Every structure is written in structure tokens, then in C-alpha cells.
Structure 1
Amino acid sequence: MLYLDNAATTPVRREVLEAMWPYLTSTFGNPSSHHTVGEAAAAGLQDARRRIADVLGTRAGDIVFTSGGTEADNLAVKGLSLAAIHRGRHLVISPIEHEAVAESADYLRRLHGFEVTTVSVDGTGRIDPADFAAALRPDTVLASVMAANNEIGTVQDLTALGGIARSAGVPLHTDAVQAAAWLPLGLDRLGVDALSLSGHKLGGPKGIGVLAVRGALPLEPLVHGGGQERGKRSGTENVAAAVGLATALELAEAERPDASVRVGALRDRFISRVLREVPGARLTGHPEHRLPGIASFVFPGTSGEAVLLELEQRGVVSSSGSACAAGSDDPSPVLLAIGIEPVVAQTAVRLSFTASVSQQELDDAASAVVAAVDSVAGIR
């Protein structure tokens, strides 16, 4: 089996499992307990926090551990907005945000009277900085723009958007869950004030995420209780998973410069062959400003689900898009936002890779895609 659905989840790396093991066995204490067993666990947690902060170019105190990327997005959008409600009730997002951001914004609209402005994207999924600037208002308390889209792979120009937001005095949050293994993540380098990550998208375990948020920004907690995470997220911390996330993030960051170039070249070769050999195939997302690890298409005249089943019969596992929307019969909002017709949007197929993917694997995958679409469409 060739697993090419890494945008949904990645296998846990062996180095990560080995780093976690002591905190699942001998160093099992509650990090809030004031005795030697608890203090040993607390030391491991604090070390993981520091290591993550180093990769993100921020302070350890700015790192909040969560249960994953979804909770990190919720905490960012709801927590930062509610803490600033005295300044205004206006949010700015894009139409291709992850459901965790989009639904958090809708929650604030429905229950707290916020107004949400959705900045349009072009046919490749990119935001025009001028449109973003025009959406910001004196009462805007937060803007949230995904660093790289999980369905089509498009990478935003966060540096430009961050400069605009900073000039307007508006905090900018980014969901960097998909970007983590491929793009530089420093808050200053990206020009953002808050950033969400998830462990299982980069070789870490499921059930752990991070919100990095600048300490100067007030943050209203969503989970109340014992006051863990400096009062920003109560609940006993998952020390082993936090250590695993720190290890996975460090490994990904060390490999990123070479992996991005190598996998990007393999991705381009793969995309070119599919577009050349599959009649009518269309690439979704930006042809250049896209993640190295995502190749996404629509195949008009087919059924995306049927193509996926054919691919699996040929030993290739992939998906139609976001795993968080699995089971929905509706066309992807992301594909609709970039102007793809609903009937065509339902033919989407996304293949996503890790840094270790080989040319042979992608050559085999391309052959499988060509054969699968031929079988479903019956056009060759």
C-alpha cells in the first residue's frame, strides 16, 4: 500500500515514540503535583514547551498546549476575540479556512453579535492584499488567515498580510497546521501574532496541538478548571504527547530546507504527468505558491469517490479533501470559493506526501491515477 493521505494524518515517527516512552512509563506523574514524581513530569513538559518556542521564535510562556489543531484554532479565534470584545465585534477570515476557524467565527456571530467579513480569494486560493486591507476596520479585533490550505495546498503571502494587519493594529492568527513540515514557522518571520499547530500532521501523535500567542495579547480561556497553561487552558497536560510534538517539530524543521526543495520538484513532476495524461484533468490551487506535499485535482466527468476507490484497488490511498469534512455529500466550500462548479468540485482528489516520499513512489502513483480515472470515466 502507498499511503498518500498525509494531509489527513501522518505515521508517528520512531524518534517521536522513543522520546514519548519515558513519559508513558517511568516519568508518569501529574505535572501539577508538587512532589518529585510530578516535578519530573513538569520538567519534561517545560522542556517541550521551550523547544517548540525555539522553533517558532517566541517565548516558552507564549506556548499553550491543546488537544490538537482544532482546539488551538478555537482558542485563538474565540479566546482572542472575546478578550477584546470591549474594542469591537468584527472579525476577518477567508472563505477557505479550516472548519475550526470558520465555525468559531460563526459561533461568535450567532451568540456574541460579532460581524464576520469574509475576504474573497482568487481562482488559485490566494487573497489579494488590497482586499484584505479594505476589510479591516477600527472595530476589527482579529483576522485569521490560513498559512497553507489543507485541500488545495495554496500558500498565502502572510508577510504582506501581516504587515497590513500590524499597520491597522489588528492581531493576525494563522492556522499553520499544514504548513508546519514545509514552511518557516517563526511568528516574526510570518508576521503573525498567533499560530496553531497539530502534532499528527508532522509525524507526531494525535491528540496534541499548540497555540502560540504573543504574551501581550489577552486571551480568554475556553476550558476552565485548575488553571493549567498559565490559566489559558485548564486540564492536566498530556506530557508524553507534548514531548512527542516537540520532537516531531524539531525533526521537521531540521529536514525542511532540503525536503521542501526535493519534494517540491517531485510534486511538479507528478502534477505535470497527471495533467498531461489524464484528459480534462485540472489542478486546484496555486501552480507555484503551494505546499510541496500536496497535489490536488478535479477530474470533470468522473466521480471523485469512485476514483478514490479505484486508486485504493491499485494500492494507493488518498482522499477527496479535508478529513474533518468526511462523510459530507456537499461540494467542498474551498473548491466553491475558488470558482469551481459544484458538480466538478465533487470530482476532487487530493494526494499528499511526507518528506520521505520517493520519485518511484510518485511515478507509481501517477500511473495509478491515470488508470483509475480511465477506468471511472471510460474515455480511453
Structure 2
Amino acid sequence: MVNELDGASRSGMEGLMNRIYLDNHASTEVDPRVAQAMAEAGFGNPHSDHAVGWEAAAKIDEARAGIAMLIGANHEEIIFTSGATEANNLAILGMRRKAAEGRNKIIRSAIEHKSVIAACDHLRAEWGFEITVLPVSSEGMVDLDALEAALDERTALCTVGFVNNEIGTIQDVRSIGRLCRDASVPLHTDAVQAPLAADISDLARWCDLISLSSHKMHGPMGVGALFIAGDIQHAIAPIMFGGGQQSSLRPGTLPLQLCVGMGTAAQLCLKNEVWRNNITQTRDAFLDELRALGMQFHLNGPEPGPFRHPGNANISFPGIEADELIGLLQPQLAASSGSACTAGTIEPSYVLTALGLPTDQVRSAVRFGFAMKMDPAKAREAALLVSDAAERCT
């Protein structure tokens, strides 16, 4: 029986390896070096007061330092979470104490991740906060004039995602940060997609809160982190309560192996120019092959360059429904639709709608996300699969 199961497992893995995975904005493959570090992490409760616990705590601190180095922060400013959704919630809901000081307004962009939008909506519904939504350009860039006009003495927080997960837009966080600093308003950025997209080694200089996710940068699922600048940690109200771990900002026993994995992944991303160049070449090979095959398409978001994630290709195919195309690509190729399913209903992407795109262009949008471990030849093969599937669409 063991041999039969092993054989089935090998067969399944081989089938998986033969597929082309282009959904790296949703999740990335764990790097072998990360997996090795996790396997060697050992065990023990890092909060226990004995030798095993001390060793585990030291490894947690090392992982925390690796993440801090990635964004130019101090290790004391890194709070581990279960992922970016929790990190976003802690950053935004943590500002609810500000209402007592007369700061009851949150500013966000129109294209934030759903966890950011939902947290803002909760502050409005439960705590009476006012939410100001910033418009974006046809490329997804935040209107800086609108931001400057919205910032005032009632603003508790501004939250703008650094790299958009659908269209790959890279915001001018430095300019946004300057405006917020001038207005004495903390800036939060969801930087989940940033480690593979840009050099973020000085991001903590411009932001007061930064959300990160391990599995978006070749680390394990189930762990994330929130950078909270030391000078505002006292102002953050926790959203969980328990044993007082992590300065009571996020209590609970830390998962040793997951934290070590995220710390290792952060170190691999620290000097990622080679990664970014490789990802750019692969993405561009995919687009060039689509053109060579005579496919008509529109690239949504910014043009390839410094303001677009090097691995992002959000593409609308005229006359084709995205969900049908993705279905025809199964199981050979994994990509994501530009639409979102809420309560069983398919709705147009609010991100693409915010760009001012017509409905048919929104409904035909497919997000292809590139990361490491794919060469241009494989990307060209993916383009051929897309072309073949498009010809079969009704």
C-alpha cells in the first residue's frame, strides 16, 4: 500500500510539474532554500522560558531581522501575523482609538485589496469613520492632487497599496509618503506584491505601516508580517487578545517553521534585481509571442516599465469571456480571471472598472502572473496554449 501511494504521489507531482503556472500574484512556489530552512528550524515554543524555547525565540528574532532588512526597518518594528489580510486589518482597525481624538477619517485608493476595503468599511459601520476614496488614472496611479486635498487634521490614516495585485501598478509611494508626512498622517501600504516587483529596501522610510505576505515571495502560506514604525506603536489598538506576545499587538504562539520560512524568503528577495530582470524577460516573451501569433489584445494598466510589476500581464481579449478562456486552458495553464466571485455572483473587477474600462473589456480580462523558475521558452509555450484556447471560445 505504501508503494502504491508513493507511486500515485509521484504521478500527481509529475502532472503538476508539466503544467504552466501563471498565477503568481495569487501565490508563489516555495523556494527550495526556504523549504530547507524550515526543515532545519527545529521545534519548541518560542515563548517558553527554557533552553529549547530560547533557541526557538532566537530563530524567530533572526527571521524578524531578515524581514526588517528587506524594507529598511528595525527588527522590533516587525509583527508576525497569519498573513497579509490580518496585517491589513491590524493596521486599519488599529487606528480606531484615533476617533476619540477627533481623527475619524480614513483615506484609501479606489483599487485597494478587498481586505483593506472591508476593514475600512468596518471602521465606518462600527466606529463612525468617514472613508474618502481616491480616484486613479487609466493606468491605476493615485491622483496626488486629490490626496493632498483630502489630507486634513481629521485624517487618522491613509492606506494605498504599493503594487496592485490585478494590474501591477507600482505607486509613487515616496511622493505619497511626503504628502502624508507633511500633513502628520500615518501612511499604510499593502506591499504584498512588492518584494518581486521593486527594490523596497527603503520602504520603511516612507511608510508608517507595511503589510507583507510570505507566500507572495516564495515563502510558505499561513504567515505574514506588519511593520509598525516604533513611534506609532503606542497608537495601535490590537484586534486580538491573549497572552501578551509581540508587545500585545498580536498575541498568540508564533509558528516557528513558518516564521523562519518567511525570514529566509525575505532574505532571498533582498537583492532581487536578477529576479526582476528574469521575470521581465519571461513576461515580455509571453507578450511578444501573443503578438507573433496574431492575437488581438489590450494590456490593462501601465505600459511595461518602472511603474508596472515586471511579472504582471493583465490582458483583455476582445470578444472573449475571461472565465471561458480560463476554463479551456485547464489543466494545462493556471491564470486568474479579472472578475471576482462574491456570494456566488460573478461581478466585474472593481479595479478594472475604476480605470474607466468598458464592461466588455473588463469581462474579457485575464491576469497572468510570472515569477521565478520559468524560462522564455516556457512563456512562449504558454502563449501558444492561450492562442489555441482563444480559437475555441464561442
TM above 0.5, one fold? yes
- Cα deviation 1:240-298 (Å, max 9, x = unaligned): 101000101111223x1122123223323422443564554211111132101111111
In structure 1, which of residues 65, 75, 82 is the aligned counterpart of residue 96 of structure 2? 82
| Matches of 1:189 and 1:210, distance apart in 2 | 13
Change (3 A) 1:323 1:206: farther
Would the aligned equivalents of 2:105 and 2:130 in 1 still touch at CA under 8 Å? yes
| Matches of 1:170 and 1:335, distance apart in 2 | 28
Superposition deviation, residue 345 in structure 1 = 1.4
- Cα deviation 1:330-377 (Å, max 9, x = unaligned): 111111111122343122111111133211011111112222222215
TM normalised by structure 1 equals 0.93
Match in the other structure for 2:277: 261
Task: Structure 2 unaligned segments of length 5 or more: list them.
Answer: 1-18
Would the aligned equivalents of 2:28 and 2:215 in 1 still touch at CA under 8 Å? yes
Tell me the amino acid that sits aligned with residue 388 of structure 2.
A
Would the aligned equivalents of 1:150 and 1:322 in 2 still touch at CA under 8 Å? no
Would the aligned equivalents of 2:70 and 2:269 in 1 still touch at CA under 8 Å? no
Would the aligned equivalents of 1:278 and 1:373 in 2 still touch at CA under 8 Å? no
Match in the other structure for 1:99: 114
- State the SS of the aligned residue for 2:210: strand
Tell me the amino acid that sits aligned with residue 63 of structure 2.
A
| Matches of 2:358 and 2:237, distance apart in 1 | 40
In structure 1, which of residues 185, 194, 216 is the aligned counterpart of residue 209 of structure 2? 194
Superposition deviation, residue 159 in structure 1 = 1.0
Would the aligned equivalents of 1:8 and 1:323 in 2 still touch at CA under 8 Å? no
Match in the other structure for 1:232: 249
Change (3 A) 1:348 1:149: same
Superposition deviation, residue 190 in structure 1 = 6.2
Match in the other structure for 1:121: 136
| Matches of 2:344 and 2:287, distance apart in 1 | 27
Change (3 A) 1:233 1:187: farther
Task: Structure 1 unaligned segments of length 5 or more: list them.
Answer: none
Match in the other structure for 2:315: 297
Tell me the amino acid that sits aligned with residue 275 of structure 2.
A
Tell me the amino acid that sits aligned with residue 116 of structure 1.
I
| Matches of 1:88 and 1:230, distance apart in 2 | 24
In structure 2, which of residues 56, 68, 71 is the aligned counterpart of residue 53 of structure 1? 68
Tell me the amino acid that sits aligned with residue 25 of structure 2.
A
In structure 2, which of residues 31, 36, 52 is the aligned counterpart of residue 13 of structure 1? 31
Match in the other structure for 2:22: 4
RMSD: 1.9
Tell me the amino acid that sits aligned with residue 281 of structure 2.
A
**264-273 vs 128-137, which deviates more?**
264-273
In structure 2, which of residues 164, 170, 191 is the aligned counterpart of residue 155 of structure 1? 170
| Matches of 2:20 and 2:338, distance apart in 1 | 17
Change (3 A) 1:303 1:4: same
Would the aligned equivalents of 2:173 and 2:206 in 1 still touch at CA under 8 Å? yes
Tell me the amino acid that sits aligned with residue 254 of structure 2.
E
- Cα deviation 1:63-122 (Å, max 9, x = unaligned): 00000011011111111x224222410010011100110000000000000000000001
Superposition deviation, residue 20 in structure 1 = 1.0
- State the SS of the aligned residue for 1:312: coil
Equivalent runs, 1:215-226 vs 2, <5 Å: 215-217=230-232, 218-226=235-243
- Cα deviation 1:281-323 (Å, max 9, x = unaligned): 211111132101111111232111110122225x211111488
Superposition deviation, residue 173 in structure 1 = 0.7
Q: Which runs of 4+ in 1 moved over 4 A?
A: 187-190, 275-280, 321-328
- Cα deviation 1:120-170 (Å, max 9, x = unaligned): 001111112112111212111100001111011111111111111111111
Match in the other structure for 1:207: 222
| Matches of 1:308 and 1:286, distance apart in 2 | 23
Superposition deviation, residue 60 in structure 1 = 0.9
Tell me the amino acid that sits aligned with residue 368 of structure 2.
L
In structure 1, which of residues 359, 364, 378 is the aligned counterpart of residue 381 of structure 2? 364
Q: Is 2:259 the partner of 1:242?
A: yes
Would the aligned equivalents of 1:187 and 1:194 in 2 still touch at CA under 8 Å? no
**238-247 vs 297-306, which deviates more?**
297-306
Tell me the amino acid that sits aligned with residue 374 of structure 1.
E
